[in-house]
Structures are given as C-alpha cells and as structure tokens.
Structure 1
C-alpha cells in the first residue's frame, strides 16, 4: 500500500480518537505530536496527512497544531524527542513504524499513539489484538510474521532446490525479531535452513553480505 494511502487512513484514525470527540470545541488548540526520522523522508506523507486533517475539519493554526520532531535516525534522540512531546502534553502522537512506536510507548501510557505502519504490533507487545488493540496504541499492521513465512513458501515453490535462506534484520526494530522467529519456525517444514544476519545500521550491510557469501 502506498504511503499516501497509509496517511489518508491515519488521518481518519486520528479523528476517531479523543480529538474527534472534541471536534466542535474550537477554543482550545489541540496538539498532534509527529515523531519521525526526517522531513525529507516523509514529505509526501506529511502533505497527505495535513490534507486529510483539513478535510476532517482540523485546520492548523485554528483548532490544531502539529508538533514535528525529527530524530535523524538516532535512537537516543528518539527517546529525548518522545519525552519532549509528552512534556508538551500533546493530545496524540503519530509515529511511522515499530521502532518509533516502542520509543513512544516507553514515554507515555496515557497519550494515544498511532503508528502509520507496523510489521508486528501483536508480536512486539504493542497491541493486544488487531480488532481490540487495548491500551493507548493503534494503527495499521502489515503482518510481517505471516507475510515473511509466505515469502519463504513462494521462494521454495519458485526454486525447489533452495535449502538456505539468509535473513538480514535489525535487532533494534521490535517487529524484526518476531518476523525472524516465524521464518525460523517455518523453515524445517519447507526444507530450509535460515541464516540470521543481524545488522544495527546501514554501515553494517557490507559486512552482512560478506557473512552471507562466506556461509
């Protein structure tokens, strides 16, 4: 699904949370915290998000303000910015993925958090279920464990002689662990051996591929 579609739905989801219940109250300027990597990465998403909010009756400067915070990929900075949004007492926090969801969750258990896309919200413990998320977190799931297993099945079907599959993953991303676990569990039944290749940053990809080639 295109990111624009994600944000369009996100605007509707945001309106369904406490903000919507107070949509007729125009005396207070409600605050939306947006915690992301950089404005360059989310330029189209931000524009779609703003447009959908306008369509729902939320106008920046009139009844809503969006507090953007950009971590530039630095994990320690993510925590600082999430805590800053909590101190600002924003009414809702929007995050792009599972790693930002985890950061926001650690910062607050009361402010509603909406993730734009999450690979494994149940497996990472961020929601109780897709139909009843519980707590203060909700959003859109791409169901990484299930889709990863399906990918392995399709690979085996396409290449019957396949016996070894390398999986590059980031231990710092909450949804990657459950995805890897699901693939490893499915491997034996498919006649596949799964090679785990953890990387912690983009600079480790070269060494990761070297490890794969040397296996």
Structure 2
C-alpha cells in the first residue's frame, strides 16, 4: 500500500473497534448521495463495486477507496495502472468482462451441437458493453449465432427464458454484474427447469443447480 493507504493504516500497534456502515442503492443515480452521507459520518474507508467506487472517487481524494470489480479497473477509470494505482483508490479485479470469450469457448466444447447460444446480461451494469463486445467478437470468429437478451428485473428474467426457449437456444452464458449475481438462484433454477446447460461467473452455482433439480423431483 502507498500514499493515503500507508498514512491511514500502517504502523498501528492495536486494532480499534470498527463500525461498518452499509449502504445499498436502487440505481446508480443514488450513489453520490450515499457517498456524501458516508463522508459526513467521517468514515475511514469506503468499499464498493465499480459504480460505487467511481462515485466515491469523484467525491473524495482523501478517504481510501477499495473496489471489487469484474472488469479492467484501468479501462473503468478506477486507477491509472495496475502496478501503481496511485491516489486514494485500490482494489481487486476478477477481470470477468474479459473472460466472456473464454466462457463461450468452454460452452461450445460442452455443447458442440448448439446452433444458438443465449447471453443474458444486465444492460445497466457498466462493464456489460465490454463483456458483450468480447463475446460477440469470439462468436463471430467461429460462426456461432448468439441471442443476446437484456434483463433489468425479476419479471424480465422470466420473460428472457421464455424467449430463449422459443428461439431454440441450446446453451446459456450468463453476464456479469451485481444484479445478475443477486438473481443467480432464480437463474440457476430456471436453467434447470428448462434443461438448458449454462455457464456462470459465480462459484457455488453447481451446488445450487443440484439442489434446485432435487427440489423439483
């Protein structure tokens, strides 16, 4: 750690009691207000996903910010570089946006006869455009037909599954983002119900799928 992080957190002999303030936004427009509220409470550290970290970065240059992102933090505008993020922002990246092409390849190996592969994404997530772009490029290179479906709510997830079944999708690739992750139980259950092989970005989905299948019998 360097800069603000070093000054704030290094060389402490004892660890004080820590109060954790949780905040959750219904939409990204609420994030600046939530960040402002946390700053009024004089928090020592802000932890959040990509949109939350960007909102915090735009608001303060002194309070340390730790992000957890599924994409490239440099492209997202979170840090200047991976080796030396600089400023008051650091974090962890799973680079899931760039893994879309690899996931498509694995799905094609598992379902070589799938003429169409559905891709379920949240269009509001900042890294979705990058994710879809990577998947489309990989599909174009091998002549794979895609069915890209946007979902923004529980109801749209149900509708999307009806659509992909009607259009003959032989497999399913799940997009990234907080909403998609929060709906993973529903998505896994629907994929199992319709008998559609799917590849996920989250650990634990294999167990969830087995539980859902057992619950149906």
* Root mean square deviation of aligned Cα: 2.8
Q: Distance in 1 between matches of 2:86 and 2:117?
A: 36
Cα distance, 1:93 vs. partner? 0.8
Structure 1 runs of 4+ off > 6 angstroms?
A: none
Cα distance, 1:22 vs. partner? 6.0
Cα distance, 1:109 vs. partner? 4.0
Give the TM-score of the pair, scaled to structure 2. Answer: 0.63
Alpha-carbon deviations, 1:118-145, whole Å to 9, x = none? 1012332222332222343211111112
> Partner residue of 1:80?
33
> Partner residue of 2:136?
184
> Partner residue of 1:4?
none
Cα distance, 1:201 vs. partner? 2.8
Cα distance, 1:206 vs. partner? 1.3
Q: Distance in 2 between matches of 1:134 and 1:196?
A: 37
Structure 1: segments with no counterpart, 5+ residues: 1-11, 25-56
CA contact (8 A) 1:169 1:176 kept: yes
Cα distance, 1:87 vs. partner? 2.8
Cα distance, 1:113 vs. partner? 0.9
CA contact (8 A) 2:5 2:64 kept: no
Give the TM-score of the pair, scaled to structure 1. Answer: 0.64
Alignment of 1:166-205 (within 5 A): 166-205=118-157
CA contact (8 A) 1:99 1:172 kept: no
Q: Distance in 2 between matches of 1:107 and 1:171?
A: 25
> Partner residue of 1:141?
93
Q: Structure 1 203/122 Cα, relative in aligned 2: closer, same or farther at 3 Å?
A: farther
Structure 2: segments with no counterpart, 5+ residues: 168-217
> Partner residue of 1:118?
69
Bigger share in strand: 1
